């Protein structure tokens, strides 16, 4: 007791009235011991369950400014976010994961520098189902100048959730160019720049779909980056009326070849088509494309797919040599002279196959048919940039 009185009395028996605790500290001492006026609010409430992965988490401060907000999952991984200008609020910059417990620790200061802290925990929603996007092209690949980034989702995306899904996907390029996406139906979205990619461009597809709602109760699971490179620029022009194919490399003509295109009534689509598959030998059955019984060739050589519906650029060993460059006799494909088995490297078909990569462009003109639909393959180049971005 004596020690306590001596300490509070300021040095022993001065005879004034300042012996009361805290009296000598005056106004400054009062400020230090008073509670902070800052009030921290965390949404959702402490202990909340089945919290949505997007839009539900927010931290705010009244009568003060936030100085620190730390949000972590049960494994200690931090959630990225930022305090708004002025310090009044904090929000995450990424989507939360599903079925995950999070902790929130926030600190704010009032105008006198006094701190106020708050802690909360919550658990996110357990999904009824999940979805992923299968993508083209493959990670690490080198592709042609016309390659589009195409994703097909394993679950239909609800109309109300398409915007969130699209915003969770980024396609960036070096050197940088604007890239936009366009939906086809509710399970596919394609991305492309305004013009063909420049040779040497490095492209990155970033999938931040983890925790993104795609439909009621359905959430994405992917969080990954995919990288690919644009190789040399090659565009081939097929003239169905002249029965020729001219191959241009970096804008310069390097080869002219005789071809056969679709016969009357079975004409080849016009338009820009992108090579999406290559097969040294493949089977072509007319029954799969509406020509049941008309042909079934088990060993079509040097085949390269141009449309989903079955248009190919391929070798042809069954037509006479005089057909190429003079007549259109196919069921809609573009044919080049070849040999059975595709073993020769000296035929026109072999040359084109060996000098083409996935993503190269084959443009057909002067065929008595319509322009191919943009979604029939990786053929969005048949829409103008304004048409493409209008639906983005």
Catalytic residues: 314, 333
Evaluate whether 39 touches 63 at the Cβ level (below 8 Å).
Answer: yes
CA-to-CA distance for 106 and 218, rounded, in angstroms? 31
Structure tokens at 171: 């396609």
Across 197-243, the runs of DSSP E, i.e. the strands, are 202-208, 213-215, 218-220, 223-230, 234-239
Sheet with 39-43: list strands edge to edge.
39-43, 58-62, 89-92, 81-83
Peptide bond into 11 cis (omega under 30): no
CA-to-CA distance for 382 and 180, rounded, in angstroms? 15
Structure tokens at 40: 């921290």
Q: Is 262 helix (H, G, I), strand (E, B) or coil?
A: strand
The burial class, CB within 10 Å (0-12 / 13-18 / 19+), for 373 is: middle
Residue reference for tokens 């070798």 = 315
């Amino acid at each position: 007791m004596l020690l306590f009185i001596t300490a509070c009395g300021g040095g022993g028996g001065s005879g004034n009235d300042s012996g009361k605790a805290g009296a000598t500290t005056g106004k400054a001492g009062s400020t230090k011991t008073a509670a902070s006026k800052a009030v921290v609010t965390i949404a959702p409430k402490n202990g909340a369950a089945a919290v949505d992965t997007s839009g539900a988490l927010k931290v705010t401060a009244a009568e003060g400014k936030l100085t620190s907000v730390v949000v972590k999952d049960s494994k200690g991984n931090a959630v990225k976010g930022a305090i708004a200008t002025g310090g009044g609020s904090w929000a995450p910059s990424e989507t939360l994961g599903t079925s995950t417990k999070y902790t929130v620790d926030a600190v704010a200061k009032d105008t006198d520098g006094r701190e106020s802290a708050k802690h909360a925990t919550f658990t996110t929603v357990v999904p009824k189902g999940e979805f992923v996007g299968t993508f083209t092209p493959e990670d690490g690949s080198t592709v042609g100048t016309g390659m589009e980034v195409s994703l097909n989702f394993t679950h239909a995306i609800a109309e109300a959730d398409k915007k969130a899904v699209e915003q969770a996907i980024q396609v960036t390029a070096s050197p940088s160019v604007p890239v936009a996406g366009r939906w086809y139906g509710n399970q596919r979205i394609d991305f492309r720049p305004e013009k063909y990619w420049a040779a040497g461009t490095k492209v990155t597809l970033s999938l931040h779909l983890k925790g993104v709602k795609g439909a009621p109760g359905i959430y994405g699971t992917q969080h990954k980056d995919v990288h690919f490179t644009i190789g040399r620029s090659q565009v081939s022009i097929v003239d169905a009326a002249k029965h020729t194919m001219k191959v241009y490399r970096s804008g310069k003509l390097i080869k002219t070849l005789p071809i056969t295109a679709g016969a009357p009534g079975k004409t080849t689509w016009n338009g820009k088509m992108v090579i999406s598959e290559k097969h040294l030998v493949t089977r072509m059955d007319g029954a799969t494309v509406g020509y049941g019984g008309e042909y079934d060739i088990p060993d079509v050589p040097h085949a390269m797919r141009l449309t989903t519906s079955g248009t190919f650029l391929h070798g042809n060993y069954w037509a006479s040599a005089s057909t190429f460059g003079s007549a259109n006799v196919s069921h809609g494909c573009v044919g080049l002279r070849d040999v059975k088995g595709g073993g020769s490297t000296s035929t026109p078909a072999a040359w084109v196959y060996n000098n083409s990569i996935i993503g190269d462009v084959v443009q057909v003109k002067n065929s008595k048919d319509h322009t191919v639909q943009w979604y029939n393959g990786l053929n969005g180049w048949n829409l103008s940039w304004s048409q493409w971005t209008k639906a983005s």
